[in-house]
């Protein structure tokens, strides 16, 4: 009986897609907003959750300048249920928004267990897909929230610094993911969680002292780590050598990268932002809209595949203390 209940519950749980990047300003929020709208139009009940620590602005993209309630109200327990902060931001009934908190997430003392609890609340919303807009960068907050999803979407522009920052972001996420695979069941976890690692090999070496199967466990953990990539603002001249990036990531990070799409640099995107509408609504036939449609279709196919079970991620040194 208990088993049946568990199966039924897991069937109803929302699938979480996190959207992250190494560099800021590459288009995460507009892509998250547009994909949310497109999935809603495909009949999915979608919640766009703004977890951007530095610049929570997803609500502005929909013309909601002062959301009456935000995630802060839930974190600060001014409202009881996460559902209470859901906002209707468009005419589409299947799309809802959880406005972000600005600085509150960064300053709120959110230890690892509380982050996990927050994600658990997300998962239990009455929705099919939760798209979580994560802030740029590699803070523990950003990496933890990124890794707590079922599907990971990264965004970069063809700009070399953006590609380099993406590489760094994925590398640190992979290290944290591998580390966490050991931390959840290893007695030396306290010591390890307080160390900064710069490569997966370093993690493996540290673990090997107590766990002879460290290398095997690490490579198994990485097999399930397959972030998706959208390259945004592509123009005729600028293209990312995706094959080379994939090769580099495979070689030095261990994880595989799956291309979800390329979005052209398109003035319609700026016009749409200024009109407080997703470009797919504002100019559905613009090149960026058509590319976003394609990316949404690919994402839908990937969402239908069985997901790898999200790993535990380690508490940050401050949190472990
Ligand atoms: N494909 C595109 N073509 C033209 N302009 C774009 C495109 N994508 C994004 N932009 C512009 O870039 C701006 C920044 O995008 P966005 O706010 O989504 O970035 P972000 O990665 O979420 O930034 P942050 O890291 O600060 O949260 C948008 O307001 C828009 O004007
Ligand atoms: Mg943003």
150-186 tens-digit pLDDT: 999 999 999 889 999 999 999 888 888 888 777 655 5
Does 316 map to a domain? no
Ligand 1 pocket, residue 13 CB under 6 Å:
no
Distance from Cα 20 to the centre of ligand 2, integer Å: 9
How many distinct structural domains can be found in the chain? 1
Does 314 map to a domain? no
Distance from Cα 19 to the centre of ligand 1, integer Å: 13
DSSP per position, 188-211:
THHHHHTS--SSHHHHHHHHHTT-
Distance from Cα 89 to the centre of ligand 1, integer Å: 19
Ligand 1 pocket, residue 232 CB under 6 Å:
yes
Does 202 map to a domain? yes
Residue range of the domain that includes 264: 13-305
Distance from Cα 102 to the centre of ligand 2, integer Å: 11
Does 115 map to a domain? yes
- Which residue has the CA at smallest separation from atom 10 of ligand 1? 27
Does 317 map to a domain? no
Residues 199-231 have pLDDT tens digits of: 788 878 877 877 788 888 888 888 778 899 999
pLDDT of 43 higher than 90? yes
| pLDDT at residue 108, rounded to an integer | 64
Q: What is the CATH number of the domain that holds 134?
A: 3.40.50.300
Closest by CA to 149, choosing from 49, 242, 59, is: 49
The answer to whether the CB of 175 falls within 8 A of the CB of 205 is: no
Ligand 1 pocket, residue 233 CB under 6 Å:
yes
Ligand 1 pocket, residue 287 CB under 6 Å:
no
Does 26 map to a domain? yes
Closest by CA to 139, choosing from 311, 309, 317, 17, is: 317
| pLDDT at residue 320, rounded to an integer | 42
Does 310 map to a domain? no
């Amino acid at each position: 009986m208990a088993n049946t209940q568990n199966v039924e519950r897991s069937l109803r749980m929302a699938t979480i897609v996190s959207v992250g990047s190494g560099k800021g300003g590459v288009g995460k929020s507009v892509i998250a907003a547009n994909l949310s709208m497109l999935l809603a139009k495909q009949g999915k009940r979608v919640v766009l959750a703004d977890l951007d620590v530095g610049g929570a602005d997803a609500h502005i993209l929909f013309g909601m300048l002062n959301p009456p309630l935000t995630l802060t109200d839930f974190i600060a327990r001014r409202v009881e249920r996460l559902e209470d902060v859901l906002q209707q931001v468009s005419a589409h009934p299947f799309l809802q928004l959880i406005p972000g908190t600005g600085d509150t997430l960064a300053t709120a003392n959110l230890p690892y267990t509380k982050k996990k609890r927050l994600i658990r609340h997300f998962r239990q919303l009455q929705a099919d897909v939760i798209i979580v807009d994560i802030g740029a960068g590699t803070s523990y907050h950003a990496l933890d929230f990124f890794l707590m999803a079922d599907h990971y979407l990264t965004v970069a522009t063809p700009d070399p610094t953006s590609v380099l920052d993406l590489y760094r972001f994925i590398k640190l996420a992979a290290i944290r993911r591998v580390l966490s695979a050991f931390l959840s069941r290893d007695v030396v976890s306290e010591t390890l969680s307080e160390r900064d690692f710069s490569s997966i090999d370093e993690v493996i070496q540290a673990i090997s002292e107590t766990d002879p199967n460290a290398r095997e466990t690490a490579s198994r953990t990485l097999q399930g780590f397959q972030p998706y990539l959208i390259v945004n603002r592509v123009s005729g001249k600028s293209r990312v050598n995706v094959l080379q990036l994939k090769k580099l990531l495979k070689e030095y990070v261990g994880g595989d990268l799956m291309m979800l799409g390329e979005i052209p640099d398109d003035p319609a995107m700026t016009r749409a932002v200024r009109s407080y509408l997703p470009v797919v609504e504002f100019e559905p036939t613009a090149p960026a809209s058509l590319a976003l449609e394609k990316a949404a279709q690919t994402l839908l196919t990937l969402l239908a595949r069985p997901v790898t079970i999200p790993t535990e991620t380690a508490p940050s040194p401050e949190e472990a203390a």
